[in-house]
Amino acid sequence: MPILSRGRYLARLAETPGDIAAAQRLRALAFHGDAAGADVDAHDGVCDHVLIEEAATGTLVCCFRVLPLPGGAEIGRSYSAQYYELSALKAFDGRIVELGRFCVHPGHHDPDILRVAWAAMTRYVDAQGVELLCGCASFAGTDARAYHDAFAVLKARHLAPKCWLPRVKAPDVFRFAQRLRRKPDAKAAMSRMPPLLRFYLALGGWVSDHAVVDRQMNTLHVFTGVEIAAIPEARKRLFRAMAG
């Protein structure tokens, strides 16, 4: 059964091994440029997978996976915990969902795809009674110089509260909060900010003070959290209207 249907697209949870395999193939294409491969890891078996498809053709145009956690005590099970020291979040008293492997088919550029994805995410979060949405938000490539303005904006406006701040765990990181002293060009910063991270920030999200250099995925990523109670009411109404 679809999570929701909007215009040309519908969002639904994967129901079969074939559904998950289709998501893994799309991830391989989007992340690695490999049209014949599959992007697979151990977390696939413990996550729910959300598929965004063209309603008329069934073509998979976007996917992501979500890992529901009953509370902060379980944060060590998350994908992000491989790369970030998240022990501060063990004190978080509320349901958590980690979102990951978000991608859009590189041959499909309709902005409605993202709108349906955001709406599906909103409906899932509301249905699960989630209080914290988190995950890794990725920048393409591993050269931090291309994103200095974006990282400077994150430092100036969006660092995690000290009570939840992730610490360094990965061997290769860019400590942008320590290293950057520049005044950012806000327009340039937002033009280089990944769409998923822009979505998180629009909801009042916060980020780690460093980016992990992930050479296997050819990305730089920051840990990102959105506390549902802290989302501005106008934003909540907007996204819930999309999901309604």
User: How many CB atoms are closer than 10 A to CB 171?
Assistant: 8
Burial 29-57 (b: 16+ CB within 10 A, else e): bbbeeeeeebbeeebbeebebbbbbbeee
Q: What is the largest CA-CA distance in the chain?
A: 51
Rounded to an integer, the average pLDDT of 75-102 is 98
Residue 1 has pLDDT above 60, yes or no: no
pLDDT of 42 strictly over 90: yes
Give counts: helices (H), strands (E), the chain: 7, 12
- What mean pLDDT value characterizes the chain? 95
What does the pLDDT look like over 89-111, one tens digit per residue?
Answer: 999 999 999 999 999 999 999 99
Residue 2: what pLDDT?
Answer: 66
The pLDDT, as a whole number, for residue 84 is 98
Mean pLDDT of 13-25: 97
For tokens 């990965």, name the residue: 170
What is the pairing mode between strands 206-207 and 167-168? unpaired
In terms of residues, how long is the chain? 244
Q: β-pairing, 211-214 with 173-174?
A: antiparallel
Q: pLDDT per residue over 124-176, tens digit each?
A: 999 999 999 999 999 999 999 999 999 999 999 999 999 999 999 999 999 99
Q: How far apart are CA 200 and CA 98, in angstroms?
A: 12
pTM: 0.94
144 contacts 220 by C-beta, under 8 angstroms? yes
What would the mean pLDDT of 170-195 be, rounded to a whole number?
94
Whether the per-residue pLDDT at 239 is higher than 80: the answer is no
Q: In this model, does residue 224 exceed pLDDT 70?
A: yes
Inter-CA distances, 170 with 80, 135, 146, 167, 194, Å: 10, 15, 21, 9, 21
**Which residue's structure tokens are 């393409």?**
140
Q: How far apart are CA 161 and CA 159, in angstroms?
A: 7
Structural domains present in the chain:
65-243 (3.40.630)
For helices 111-128 and 195-202, give the axis angle rounded to 10 degrees.
50
